[in-house]
Amino acid sequence: MNILIVRLSAIGDIVMASGLPGTIKKPNPSSRITWLCQAECKDLLKDHPNVDQVIVWPRKEWQKLWNERKFLQLIKQIRQFRKLLRSESFDLALDLQGLLKSGYLTWLSGATKRIGLGSSEGSQLFMHRVITREGGNQDLIGSEYRYLAAEMEFDTHSFDLQLGISKQSEESSNALLGEMRDGPYLVICPFTTRPQKHWFDDYWQSTTAQLQARFELPVILLGGPGDIDSAQKLCQDTKIINLAGKTNLQEAAAIIGHSAGLIGVDTGLTHMGHAMKVPTLALFGSTRPYLETGLSTSKVIYLDLHCAPCRRNPTCDGRFDCLREITPDMVLQEFSQLRAKP
């Protein structure tokens, strides 16, 4: 069977969906799986052990033509992309994003059968079948993708988050680590897309100082290009090793995979810790994408205040009580217990 998975972004969602190709292929090893994504997520998928091909949606090029009102040129590009997708003769297409844009691209593929996950914005009109996101164990990481697999009669016991790392990325990540590549180190991932998901700089500084004192290990900060200024501020007058903006996604995954443990907020890099099977402590407040990781060495701290999860609509006047009440001492205690497990 020739299968197309459409999950265009974001990094965390792709990490949590990364167990689906292996789940599909286990009973059907001859199946061919293609993943359609945006350019910034390609690195996360191109070396995935169960993804045979990655196709990039040229979103920025289409957006540019639209903004410049070059509609005939845009139509030509859409037709060319449709031709590319349909040349693959997909038997099945899975729209994991469930938005109008992903539904349209799924329809554009010409797949014989199209299944949408929680389809909205009219994307359900492009689907032969829609499966809810609300089924199964909602507390378990990747619950919606596991439920989709179960509804398609796949064995979800084999659902295992997977990331692929090339030899080149392993080598370049070692170069970034320098002498640290020969010894254990810890990783923190403090940054994400919205301020109400961030823990506080003073808490990070206190926690990392205690981690360094207790475990006598260096602490590495990972983040994207947009986090560089915030990372410099957080790392000032500390011994934190700042690698924000210095890694691509595969290099970050490699650094996480060789670490002795990770602490992070609700961000794609933190979810990578679960995929790489390292001791991982996730700090959730305004969001809680999951509470259970299925791993004995991973844990979520979530205080379940009356106002949480508020998602994009905080009601605390910027205090972010749900995260302020997660103290450095609490984090240190939970993380120490995680690292003590085999």
Q: Is the dihedral of CA 208, 210, 211, 217 positive or negative?
A: positive
pLDDT-derived band of residue 180, with 50, 70 and 90 as boundaries? confident
Lowest pLDDT segment from 200-209, 218-227, 308-317, 319-328: 308-317
Residue 190 pLDDT level (bands cut at 50, 70, 90): very high
What domains, with CATH codes, occur in the chain? 2-158 (3.40.50.2000), 172-340 (3.40.50.2000)
Question: pLDDT at residue 17 above 80?
Answer: yes
**Cα end-to-end distance, the chain, whole Å:** 39
CA 26 – CA 12 distance, rounded (Å): 24
| Structure confidence by residue, pLDDT tens digits, 72-87 | 999 999 999 999 999 9
Give me the chain's average pLDDT, please.
95
Q: Residue 42 above 80 pLDDT?
A: yes
60-92 b/e (C-beta count within 10 Å ≥ 16 → b): eebeebeeeeeeeebeeebeebeeebeebebeb
Contact (Cβ atoms closer than 8 angstroms) between residue 147 and residue 232: no
Q: Is the pLDDT of residue 146 over 90?
A: yes
Q: Write the DSSP string, 86-144.
A: HTT--SEEEESS-SHHHHHHHHHTT-SEEEEES--TTGGGG-SEEE-SS-S-TTBTTHH
Per-residue pLDDT for 341 more than 80?
no
- Residues 6 or more apart whose CB falls under 8 angstroms from that of 86 comprise 108, 109, 110
Span 243-261, mean pLDDT?
96
**pTM for the full predicted model:** 0.93
What percent of the chain has pLDDT above 90?
91
Give the model's pLDDT for residue 182: 82
Cis peptide bond prior to 309, omega within 30° of 0: yes
Query: What number is the average pLDDT over the span 235-248?
Result: 95
Which of helix, strand or coil describes residue 273?
helix
pLDDT digits 0-9 by tens, 88-144 = 999 999 999 999 999 999 999 999 999 999 999 999 999 999 999 999 999 999 999
Could you tell me the two tokens for 142? 């990747």
Confidence of residue 255 (pLDDT cuts 50, 70, 90): very high
pLDDT tens-digit series, residues 262-319: 999 999 999 999 999 999 999 999 999 999 999 998 999 999 898 989 988 888 888 9
Selection from 35, 37, 316, 60 nearest residue 196 by Cα: 316
For the cut 80, the answer to whether the pLDDT of residue 342 exceeds it is no
